[in-house]
């Protein structure tokens, strides 16, 4: 067993009970009322992807964009969720879509996490000012200082065509994203 595997096991055993208690709480959040819905113009953003590179919403204009908000690098559910999207990256590309994921973790944390998980899409840091982009999309968890587990599909013109907020402790999978992208593709071919 490698040092990385041992470290990961240690982190999961140490923090998972705290994570589960903190993020899987049964308190009712009114996220559905605040998260941006289909038909809304997507708020612009410009976030760090690396210490010296920023990506903005306008960088993806002309192509559909899958925008993933997730609570934290290294957490069990987030690791599984982003690994799933990494496995499906070719399906997203075949539907002419780009994919980026956003959390409030710092850029260095993102780089280490992406390297360890061998992710082939950008992780953007909504670190400073903390959660500004998540707040603009209505998916910032003020009490926890993290984001909701939220998915947005943004069309070629920068409008949200589909959105979904998952319970924080549940991996939302990719079916809804793929269906939304297929619907966009059909709409594009019809026009």
Over residues 52-71, the pLDDT tens digits come to 999 999 999 999 999 999 99
Query: Domain range holding 174?
Result: 29-190
In a domain, 13, yes or no: no
Closest CA to 20 of 98, 75, 57: 75
Average pLDDT over residues 2-23: 54
**Catalytic residue IDs:** 78
pTM: 0.84
Is 133 a domain residue? yes
Q: What is the CATH number of the domain that holds 35?
A: 3.40.30.10
Give me the pLDDT at residue 138, please.
97
Give the count of domains, the chain.
1
Residue 137 to residues 35, 56, 103, Cα–Cα distance (Å): 6, 14, 12
Whether residue 156 lies inside any domain: the answer is yes
């Amino acid at each position: 067993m490698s040092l990385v595997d041992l470290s990961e096991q240690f982190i999961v055993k140490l923090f998972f009970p705290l994570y589960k208690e903190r993020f899987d709480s049964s308190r009712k959040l009114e996220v559905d009322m605040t998260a941006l819905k289909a038909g809304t113009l997507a708020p612009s953003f410009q976030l760090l992807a690396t210490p010296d590179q920023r990506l903005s919403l306008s960088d993806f204009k002309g192509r559909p964009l899958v925008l993933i908000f997730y609570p934290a690098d290294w957490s069990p559910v987030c690791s599984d969720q982003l690994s799933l999207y990494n496995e499906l990256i070719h399906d997203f590309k075949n539907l002419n879509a780009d994919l980026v994921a956003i959390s409030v973790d710092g850029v260095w944390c993102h780089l280490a996490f992406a390297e360890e998980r061998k992710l082939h899409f950008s992780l953007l840091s909504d670190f400073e000012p903390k959660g500004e982009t998540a707040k603009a999309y209505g998916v910032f968890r003020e009490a926890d200082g993290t984001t909701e587990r939220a998915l947005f599909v943004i069309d070629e013109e920068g409008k949200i065509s589909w959105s979904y907020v998952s319970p924080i402790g549940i991996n939302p999978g990719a079916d809804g994203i793929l269906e939304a992208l297929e619907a966009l593709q059909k709409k594009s071919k019809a026009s």
